[in-house]
Structure 1
């Protein structure tokens, strides 16, 4: 029995050692266009879908902010209010079409790539077909848009001129293509915690330790 307990303890200690060695990873930041849904009160909520799939109703406001962040909680919001009346009051309603307020915030100089100067923020009222997506509303008022091969929104009104969801301040200081959870709704790898593979391995060690103890007890019984 003492031997069984020792075996189980060693396995569990190994699992704890793996976690301790891994430690919390530093969250990787990305430079990208974040996509936001406006509320009736003028505030912003980080969109759970990408602009290509969201089909806002007439009177909605959609926001885009160029930002640097590691996750949606730290992403910069558009600095203008989601105020449909203010954005679309000069655009009369048309039968068979809908009006979508669009807020575009090009971010700050600190967020700009390579020392670029971000354009001034702008708002526009997109009048589009009733089944149009938020992406189509954006295209109606802020061309040219640029997307990558995975349909990730890279540039609005030509800004930035190059790059797409690049890593910022990596381990070697280089900027590399990344895939954050942002404007197209896709999920970014690397949340700053232990990886799923690591946690799965630790769980397997713990399960094997428990199985060893159970088998030894069964033989003794």
Structure 2
């Protein structure tokens, strides 16, 4: 076997490892997450609000924030208000259920714009027994805004624009998603350029070797 491939193989392998070793940036999303209060705290809701039917006496919670995809690790509502406190001034009615709603509009850092988030607030909805959480929310916090796929984008008109934007790790640190720079060269491009250089050098070496033999 020619000497050049023997010398090049380990180097090429090392360059390929370098090119693939850069960790993937953790993706986050700016969105409204949906929760329900339990005896032990907030529980993330796997069902969407258009499907979930809260029972009488339930507490639905909503939090706008930048959170990872997957739900359970999303930012929870910061308030821990119970049903009795929220619905104390809303008397029970025959044929209606009462559902407490906690709205946490997040922080200025969550907003991702110059739009100031509203203060946290609570409300008590008196709705039909079969009303979904989406209907509960519409009763106490209009206007709601949805995208074409049915994703809830805004509660009480907040935010005015955007819907579930994906943000990478670079965006959180001032990367391209928020108008900043990369902050450094791309490792994959460097490794790819080095690989091309090595292959070119090997080809030149082989050509000179053939001419001299």
Count of residue correspondences = 158
The 5 Å alignment of 1:1-221 reads 21=20, 24-41=23-40, 43-71=41-69, 72-169=71-168, 173-174=176-177
**How far off its partner does 1:76 sit?**
1.3
What CA deviation, in whole Å up to 9, does each residue of 1:129-155 have, x standing for no partner? 000000100000000000000000000
**How far off its partner does 1:73 sit?**
4.0
**How far off its partner does 1:58 sit?**
0.1
Structure exhibiting the larger radius of gyration computed from Cα positions: 2
What CA deviation, in whole Å up to 9, does each residue of 1:172-196 have, x standing for no partner? 6136xxxxxxxxxxxxxxxxxxxxx
**How far off its partner does 1:115 sit?**
2.1
**How far off its partner does 1:170 sit?**
6.6
By relative contact order (CA 8 Å, sep 6+), the higher-ranking structure is 1
Provide TM-score, normalisation by structure 2: 0.68
Provide TM-score, normalisation by structure 1: 0.66
Alpha-carbon distance in 1 for matches of 2:102, 2:120: 8
Alpha-carbon distance in 1 for matches of 2:151, 2:106: 18
Q: Which runs of 5+ in 2 are unaligned?
A: 1-12, 179-213
